[in-house]
Structure formats: C-alpha cells, structure tokens
C-alpha cells in the first residue's frame, strides 16, 4: 500500500509538473518510513519473535525484487 501511494503521488507530480506535490510525496514517504521502522517492525518482532527475523533478512523493506 505504501509503495502504491508513493507511485500515485509521483505520477501526479510528474503529470502536473508540481514541485508542491513532490514535496508532499517526500513528507508522506518520511511518515511512512518512520511508521514502519518505529512502530510496525518492532510490533511484529514482539509478536512473532525469531519467526519474523528470517523473512526480514530475505525481503527488502521498500523496493520489491524478483526472486
């Protein structure tokens, strides 16, 4: 979901040529990143323990890659 929102905002900024939308995109991505790093990941680590660590080591946080 986070990546989809970023891509939509990027497209809008490019189509409209808007520096304001680009700045908004940066702010939104910063909030997303902080939410994931400071809240979601620690919560999942507490909930699932070592079972969560293995997928974290294999899967990148933001940019998916083909396996």
> What are the b/e assignments for 13-30, b being 16+ CB within 10 Å?
beeeeeeebeeebeeebe
Domains identified in the chain, total number = 1
Mean pLDDT across the stretch 53-62? Answer: 86
pTM score, whole prediction: 0.80
- Which residue range is the domain that position 32 belongs to? 2-58
Q: Is residue 44 part of a domain?
A: yes
Q: How confident is the model at residue 55 (pLDDT cuts 50, 70, 90)?
A: confident
Q: Is residue 39 part of a domain?
A: yes
pLDDT at 12: 96
pLDDT at 66: 72
More confident residue, 62 or 8: 8
Q: Is residue 66 part of a domain?
A: no
pLDDT at 67: 62
């Amino acid at each position: 979901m986070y990546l989809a929102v970023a891509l939509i905002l990027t497209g809008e900024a490019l189509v409209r040529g808007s520096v304001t939308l680009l700045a908004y995109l940066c702010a939104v991505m910063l909030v997303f990143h902080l939410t994931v790093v400071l809240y979601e990941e620690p919560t999942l680590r507490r909930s699932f323990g070592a079972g969560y660590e293995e997928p974290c080591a294999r899967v990148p946080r933001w940019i998916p890659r083909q396996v």
